[in-house]
């Protein structure tokens, strides 16, 4: 099995300090004047400057893809839906280009199934969301967009444990 393709492969090996910084960042950057200083104190034995430098490197290496506010889309008045479509292999690129134009399509993946393209759409209203899906369904390459709405959320936690033993993919 080929590992999932990534746009930014990185050979950079993270060390123990990187892991500690990444775990703290995943938990949340403090809301205070000098948050990196607070993090440095919690880690112990490092300076604020070292923390800042490490974060800069982790961003450069594309291990951190963004460092910013994480919002609850529903609480902001937005609606979201998971969608699936069937796309022939030779049309993946073109269809992806169409989907990726929409700023509310935040995630788009190829998955092994007859419905092979899966994307999430976040939108300011149900009406706007349906209008966007109607534009997509007008495209002759796309037959039908399956819509999966969340009825109940049991977990959303994108915190990755970096302290566990990581074995090489085989």
Question: Which residues, numbered 78-117, are part of the site for another protein (CB under 8 A)?
Answer: 78, 82, 84, 92, 96, 99-113, 115, 117
16 binding another protein? (CB under 8 A): no
15 binding another protein? (CB under 8 A): no
55 binding another protein? (CB under 8 A): yes
Residues 146-165 that bind another protein (CB under 8 A): 146-162, 164
Among 12, 94, 126, 163, the residue binding another protein under the rule CB under 8 A is 12
> Cα–Cα distance between 80 and 24 in angstroms, integer?
28
44 binding another protein? (CB under 8 A): no
Residues 56-75 that bind another protein (CB under 8 A): 56, 59, 61-73, 75
Which residue is listed with tokens 């959320």?
153
> Which stretch of DSSP H or E encloses residue 147?
strand 146-148
Residue among 42 and 111 whose Cβ is closer to another protein: 111
* Dihedral angle, C-alpha 83, 88, 94, 96, nearest 10 °: 30
Among 14, 17, 43, 46, the residue binding another protein under the rule CB under 8 A is 14
Contacts of residue 10, Cβ cutoff 8 Å, sequence gap at least 6:
61, 62, 63
Contact between 125 and 116 (Cβ < 8 Å): no
């Amino acid at each position: 099995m080929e590992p999932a393709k990534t746009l930014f492969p990185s050979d950079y090996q993270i060390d123990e300090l990187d892991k500690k910084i990444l775990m703290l960042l995943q938990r949340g950057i403090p809301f205070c004047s000098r948050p990196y200083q607070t993090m440095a104190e919690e880690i112990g034995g490092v300076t604020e400057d070292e923390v800042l430098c490490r974060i800069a490197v982790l961003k450069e290496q594309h291990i951190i893809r963004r460092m910013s506010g994480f919002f609850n889309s529903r609480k902001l008045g937005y609606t979201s839906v998971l969608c699936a479509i069937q796309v022939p292999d030779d049309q993946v690129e073109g269809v992806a280009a169409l989907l990726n134009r929409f700023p509310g399509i935040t995630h788009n993946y190829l998955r092994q199934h007859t419905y092979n393209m899966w994307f999430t759409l976040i939108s300011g209203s149900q009406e706007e969301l349906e209008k966007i899906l109607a534009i997509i369904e007008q495209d002759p390459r796309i037959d039908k967009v399956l819509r999966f709405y969340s009825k109940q959320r049991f977990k959303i936690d994108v915190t990755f444990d970096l302290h566990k033993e990581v074995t090489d993919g085989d």
